[in-house]
Amino acid sequence: MSADPGKLSPRPPAQVAPYVEVLGVDGAVKFLLAFGGAELYLAANPKGRGRVERMFGADRAAALAAMAERLPRRVPTAKPWIAQVLRARGLPVAEIARILHATDVSVRAWLRRTDLGEDPDRRQMRLF
């Protein structure tokens, strides 16, 4: 999944932002696809045995552990955001559906919401 410099990635939701901060957009997508939906222990001092460390290296594993207080208890799946990222990379809806283990109908609905400019947090009341 290589980034196209001409296309901007969609802004990540708040629960995904810390992962993007440490791993970058492509790394965050890879992380969420691998670990999304479950609790995950992040060792503060990785010893080379953990899956996160094997996938991303000791420095990034330690950086994730250092911001554990900002991370949700369970790793989010963030499928709507991942669908937006993959679409921005030029993948067709059918391929996105396969990657996310979702139906093409769900993927189209996620993408349509953002194409219409709907705020994904529209249920959240504005503070001001």
CA angle 102, 31, 73 (to 5 degrees): 90
pLDDT at 73: 87
User: Quick check: 33 and 107 in contact, CB under 8 A?
Assistant: no
The two structure tokens encoding residue 109? 């609905």
Question: Global pTM?
Answer: 0.80
Question: What CA–CA distance (Å, rounded) separates 58 from 82?
Answer: 25
Low-confidence ranges of the chain (pLDDT < 50): 1-6
User: Please, what's the largest Cα pairwise distance for the chain?
Assistant: 48
pLDDT at 70: 87
pLDDT at 23: 95
pLDDT at 44: 81
CA atoms within 13 A on the CB side of 128: 0
Domain positions in the chain are 17-70, 79-115
pLDDT at 50: 85
